[in-house]
């Protein structure tokens, strides 16, 4: 039979995590089912062994937008999709933290300068700053990610 995971996009499902996205990207694909309004008959869910997956604590009129979110998260991890292979390693959730703030040009925007450490050229200090900022943002916005046994 078909060994690919059979996923049902559902607000009742396990929350989609970056770890699950990596598993799906490393696999041989998936079959994704999308319900409309009232969802899918429980007998079909049971009979086909569907894994219910949620993309958030909110309700959509159908599973298609959720499926698009899942597909985008998975496809960007496939080899050759992202131009810079290392760019995916420091993003939110890859190390259990939210991503650090980003700064681009110009060096000053409406009186707000880029933090000095980022233009210092000291790669160790830059890495330390990024880690500290990521930890601070995670503490402020998603303390649940810092729990000893975070939900998966």
Residuewise pLDDT in 10s, the chain (152 residues):
899 999 999 999 999 999 999 999 999 999 999 998 778 999 999 999 999 999 999 999 999 999 999 999 999 999 988 875 555 556 667 778 999 999 999 999 999 999 999 999 999 999 999 999 999 999 999 999 898 654 55
First-to-final CA distance of the chain: 28
Domain boundaries along the sequence of the chain: 6-75, 90-146
Q: Which residues pair with 54 in a beta bridge?
A: 15
| pLDDT tens-digit map of 69-100 | 999 999 999 998 887 555 555 666 777 899 99
Please give the CATH number for the structural domain made up of 90-146: 1.10.1270.20
Please give the CATH number for the structural domain made up of 6-75: 3.40.1280.10
């Amino acid at each position: 039979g078909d060994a690919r995971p059979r996923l049902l996009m559902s607000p009742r499902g396990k929350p989609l995590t970056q770890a699950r996205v990596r598993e799906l990207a490393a696999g041989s694909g998936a079959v994704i089912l999308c319900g409309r309004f009232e969802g899918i008959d429980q007998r079909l869910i049971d009979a086909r062994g569907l894994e219910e997956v949620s993309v958030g604590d909110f309700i959509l009129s159908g599973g298609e937008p959720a499926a698009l979110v899942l597909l985008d998260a998975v496809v960007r991890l496939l080899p050759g999709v992202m131009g810079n292979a290392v760019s995916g390693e420091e993003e939110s959730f890859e190390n259990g933290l939210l991503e650090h703030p980003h700064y681009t040009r110009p060096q000053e925007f409406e009186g707000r300068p880029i933090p000095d450490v980022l233009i210092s050229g000291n790669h160790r200090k830059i890495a330390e700053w990024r880690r500290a900022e990521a930890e601070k943002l995670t503490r402020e916005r998603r303390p649940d990610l810092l729990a000893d046994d975070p939900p998966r």
